[in-house]
Amino acid sequence: MELLPIGVVSARSGTAPSALRYYEEQGLLPAATRTAGGARRYPRTVLRRLAVIRAARNVGLSLPEIRAALAGLPEDRPPSARDWERLSSEWRDRLDEQISALTELRDGLSSCIGCGCLSLGRCALFNPGDAAAAEGPGARRLPPALRRPVPR
């Protein structure tokens, strides 16, 4: 199996070396092999994992969600097309929920979202006196998928 130095993995994936070390620590990447001098070497297959991690982060999945999904991938061989297909199908419901929430957001941002700003004329009707604050923090009228804590 071809092993790549951390700098090559970083350059090819567009991921900072510090992020690679962090992902390894968090179990998103397999533990690197070490050279006699202690330098990290990763199998080339981590590039695919990193592409999936980046895509997942960009659609708002948290590190624990990504870790859980990647944990199902084989360690003894590179993931097959079927493995990747299974992984993406596990995220399908989550992605569908986000697509519908974003569509709702796109089509409805001109109305009150219950954020407490009371800046729109309609807020006086839909959120008089910031009544939405009693429901909890955040813009209470946004779809729940858009009110999840932002992943780190």
Q: Is 131 helix (H, G, I), strand (E, B) or coil?
A: helix
Phi-psi domain of 21 (left: phi exceeds 0; alpha: psi -120 through 50; beta: other): alpha
Q: Which residue has the tokens 């990290």?
A: 40
| Range 105-134, binding ligand FES (CB under 6 A) | 112-118, 120, 123, 127
Least Å distance, CB 20 to ligand FES, is 41
Q: Minimum distance from CB of 145 to ligand FES (Å)?
A: 18
* Number of chain positions touching ligand FES (CB under 6 A): 10
Q: Which token pair is 126?
A: 């839909």
CA distances from 138 to 40, 61, 102, 148 (A): 42, 19, 16, 9
Closer of 18 and 110 to ligand FES (Cβ):
110
Name which of 70 and 123 has its Cβ closer to ligand FES: 123
Minimal distance in Å, beta carbon 126 to ligand FES? Answer: 6
Nearer to ligand FES, 25 or 135 (CB): 135
Site string for ligand FES, 59-98 (x = CB under 6 A): ----------------------------------------
Least Å distance, CB 149 to ligand FES, is 20
Q: Which of 5, 84, 71, 2 is nearest to 43 (CA)?
A: 2
In 59-121, which ranges are continuous DSSP H helix? Answer: 63-71, 81-108
Q: Which CB atom, from 14 or from 128, has the smaller least distance to ligand FES?
A: 128
Q: At what angle do helices 6-13 and 17-25 cross, to 10 degrees?
A: 100
Which residue ranges make up the site for ligand FES (CB under 6 A)?
112-118, 120, 123, 127
